[in-house]
Amino acid sequence: MIYEAGSYDVVVIGAGHAGCEAALAASRMGCRTLLVTLSMENIALMPCNPSVGGPAKAQLIREIDALGGEMGVNIDKANIQIRIINTGKGPAVQALRAQADKYEYHKEMIKTLLNQRNLDLLMAEVEEIITAEDTVRSIITKTGAKYNCKTVVVTSGTYLKGRIIIGDIAFSGGPGNQFPAEKLSDSLKDMGLKLGRFKTGTPPRIDKKSVNFDAMEEQPGDDRQLRFSYISPLPDRKQLSCWLTHSTPETHQIVMDNLDRAPMFTGVIKGQGPRYCPSFEDKVVRFSHKDSHQLFVEPEGRATDEMYVQGLNTSLPEDVQIKVLKSIPGLEDVRIIRTGYAIEYDYVFPSQLKLSLETKNISGLFTAGQINGTSGYEEAAAQGLMAGINAALKVHGRDSFILKRSEAYIGVMIDDLVTKELDEPYRLLTSRAEYRLLLRQDNADLRLTEKGRSLGLVNDFRWQIFQEKKKTLSELISKLHQATFTPADEVIREFLNSKRSAPLKDRISLWELLRRPEIKIQDFYYLGLITVNDPDILEQVEIQAKYEGYIKKQKEQVERFEKMENKSLPADFDFSEVYGLSNEARQKLDKFKPISIGQALRVSGINPADINVLLIFLETKRRK
């Protein structure tokens, strides 16, 4: 029996990382929003590694934060370890990484959701999305409740027809043996959406009390006070260590001896898994020449003895998992708390989406997160934020909010999703961003905070902090350009000598001096030449000085890129009219329906010759 249960502007289905960001964004933009979850106990769940950040992913979190999202603020409240990785590399790939207390992260996100104005939470299973004239009208839950709505954001993660696999055992289930969503996939198919099947996995969780840490290498957090969000207070809490160990030849032999029981190799698993996060048994087979692989034993929280064995994703039978673990140094007497497993799930082919993450054929229907074929909490949260923003803008009758590849890693990711064929779960990498020196984690607030403010997502408190930072940056850069010294200045001469830096030949500014590799901006503070000592601001100014030439070149590349992006294509453009296009190019362009020449060039299978044909056609048409 279906009954009328209420009306909302935006309904968000699923309360993982994508769903939380989508619901918060829509409600903060003034939309009456309903967030529906299968389980209140699993809101913002971290079913895999309870950590966020790393290359490209840290940039995403900072971008979410700059736009007024929640992930950065929440991980700053709930982390148990934080550090910068890739410190030996350039600033484009350096990244923050934080280990989370997954229970604290869940608790803090619940608190934020419950205190958010315009937002209601509901525990239910959505079975059907109702449309009329290819437009979203309502949702219906398993218990018959009908909620009318103007837009729907589906953020169902890995729950759509989820199937858990451990050895030769397989059963319906979501992450961590939760209930799956069995009928929503059918509703999406009935609307004409094409769905595929992907797979991911997780390692066994082990009991801390059974681990011999003396046989492992300690991995402590960073000594510095670090945070993801610029509005978070600087942390003052004890950090917990992670631990490094390695698999052994014995470990690998156990795996090889049991491949006939491994679902990855017996055909039990049908879905394609992520290449960048393979199962352990897949690594052993593919890299048979290696005697060992790194494994990190990481805590899951302050108030639990569960530890996560990063690098040991597996769907081997439980008895084999135990043997594998016991062959690893430090885990000889280990006890398993939770068995590792693989999970298969339905996803929507993202080529069916616009850059706004709205489906091309159903007005008002948005999808975000792993349902779009991505992997990772950060990728999900970023998509959720964008889908929530655009759902709210649609309700308000405003144009969609789109980030370009040259503006944000978020723009890179979404553009990749809608223009490229996915044959495995998508993971964002720094190598995917052409302009990564411009899209660093340290300058995300400078790139995006003003955009977040215009959307109504950046509150007065965040805006004030941003304005103060901008002012301090500007004044410091001006000071470095204006302060000059000559070879006769004794203080500078002695300083350069102590740094084994070449003596001055002519008058030079502090800005030019800072471009020398051996000179650090912190040195100027210790010499009394500047008064700013904020590590974030000093880091940003130093990067701008040392990489000024490279940054200028990338900005020139962006200008050329913009010319192609500004050559727009109509939404109803008929590629069959373009004489000279190859059949493959015509089919691909008709499938992805790019909105610009630049986007057309990024469609897989399209080559420069095809673009030239398209440009000639457009110019001929324009002249006529």
Q: Where are the alpha helices (DSSP H) in 377-489?
A: 377-395, 409-419, 444-455, 460-482
- 51 token code pair: 């950590």
Single-letter amino acid code for the residue at 163: R
The class level of CATH for 567-623 reads: mainly alpha
Other Cβ atoms less than 10 A from the Cβ of 192: the count is 12
Give the lowest-confidence range in 104-108, 245-249, 489-493.
489-493
For residue 601, the model assigns a pLDDT of 84
pLDDT per residue as tens digits for the range 120-162:
999 999 999 999 999 999 999 999 999 999 999 999 999 999 9
d(CA 168, CA 268): 8
pLDDT per residue as tens digits for the range 440-475:
999 999 999 999 999 999 999 999 999 999 999 999
d(CA 418, CA 603): 9
For residue 399, the model assigns a pLDDT of 96
Inform me whether the pLDDT recorded for 384 exceeds 80: yes
d(CA 375, CA 369): 8
Q: How far, rounded to the nearest angstrom, does the alpha carbon of residue 442 sit from its chain's CA centroid? A: 16
Query: First and final CA of the chain: distance in angstroms?
Result: 60
Residues of the chain with CATH 1.10.10.1800: 470-552
pLDDT band at 278 (very low <50, low <70, confident <90, very high): confident
Task: Identify any residues that bridge with 36 across adjacent strands, giving them in sequence order.
Answer: 13, 122
Q: DSSP assignment of 516-569, as one string?
A: STT--HHHHHHTTS-----HHHHHHHHHHHHTHHHHHHHHHHHHHHHHHHTSB-
Single-letter amino acid code for the residue at 140: I
pLDDT band at 486 (very low <50, low <70, confident <90, very high): very high
Other Cβ atoms less than 10 A from the Cβ of 296: the count is 20
Residues of the chain with CATH 2.40.30.260: 205-341
The class level of CATH for 205-341 reads: mainly beta
pLDDT per residue as tens digits for the range 72-84:
999 999 999 999 9
CB 80, CB 299: distance < 8 Å: yes
Cα 21 to Cα 47, 145, 383, 456, distances in angstroms: 18, 24, 8, 15
Return the sign of the alpha-carbon dihedral for residues 64, 66, 69, 70: positive
pLDDT band at 586 (very low <50, low <70, confident <90, very high): confident
Give the lowest-confidence range in 184-198, 269-283, 496-510, 551-565.
269-283
Inform me whether the pLDDT recorded for 563 exceeds 90: no
Q: What is the mean pLDDT of residues 184-211?
A: 96
For residue 522, the model assigns a pLDDT of 94
Q: DSSP assignment of 201-254, as one string?
A: EEPPEEEGGG--GGGSEEE---SS---S-TTSPPP-SPPPPEEEEE--HHHHHH
Q: How many residues does the chain have?
A: 624
Burial class (CB in 10 A: 0-12, 13-18, 19+), 388: buried
Q: What is the mean pLDDT of residues 375-379?
A: 96
**Can you point out the beta strands (E) in 262-348?**
294-299, 306-310, 336-338, 341-348
Give the lowest-confidence range in 276-280, 333-337, 526-530, 531-535.
276-280
Rounded-to-10 torsion of CA 605, 611, 613, 619:
150
For residue 295, the model assigns a pLDDT of 97
d(CA 488, CA 268): 77
pLDDT per residue as tens digits for the range 207-243:
999 999 999 999 999 888 899 999 999 888 899 999 9
For residue 224, the model assigns a pLDDT of 85
For residue 610, the model assigns a pLDDT of 85
Inform me whether the pLDDT recorded for 624 exceeds 80: no
Closest CA to 165 of 141, 201, 136: 201
d(CA 293, CA 549): 39
Inform me whether the pLDDT recorded for 274 exceeds 80: no
Inform me whether the pLDDT recorded for 581 exceeds 90: no
Q: How far, rounded to the nearest angstrom, does the alpha carbon of residue 136 sit from its chain's CA centroid? A: 28
Closest CA to 26 of 385, 365, 353, 371: 385
pLDDT band at 285 (very low <50, low <70, confident <90, very high): very high
Q: What is the mean pLDDT of residues 27-49?
A: 95
Q: What is the mean pLDDT of residues 555-578?
A: 86
> How many separate helices (H) and strands (E) can be counted in the chain?
21, 22
Task: Identify any residues that bridge with 195 across adjacent strands, giving them in sequence order.
Answer: 348
d(CA 252, CA 236): 42
Give the lowest-confidence range in 153-157, 394-398, 558-562.
558-562
- 397 token code pair: 């009758």
Phi, psi of 591 (to 5 degrees): -75, -50
Inform me whether the pLDDT recorded for 574 exceeds 90: no
Residues of the chain with CATH 1.10.150.570: 567-623
For residue 620, the model assigns a pLDDT of 82
Q: How far, rounded to the nearest angstrom, does the alpha carbon of residue 224 sit from its chain's CA centroid? A: 24
What's the chain's average pLDDT?
A: 94
At the fourth CATH level, the homologous superfamily of domain 7-49+115-203+345-434 is FAD/NAD(P)-binding domain (3.50.50.60)
Closest CA to 268 of 167, 346, 182: 167
Q: What is the mean pLDDT of residues 472-488?
A: 94
- 66 token code pair: 């700059």
Tell me the fold of 470-552.
Arc Repressor Mutant, subunit A (1.10.10)
Single-letter amino acid code for the residue at 371: I
Interaxial angle between packed helices 377-395 and 409-419, expressed in degrees from 0 to 180 and rounded to the nearest 10 = 80
Q: Report the share of the chain in percent with pLDDT over 90.
A: 80
For residue 378, the model assigns a pLDDT of 98
Inform me whether the pLDDT recorded for 408 exceeds 90: yes
3-state secondary structure of 302: coil
d(CA 274, CA 262): 17
What is the rounded radius of gyration, in angstroms, for the C-alpha atoms of the chain?
26
Cα 50 to Cα 241, 279, 596, distances in angstroms: 14, 18, 39
For residue 74, the model assigns a pLDDT of 98
- 241 token code pair: 């260590």
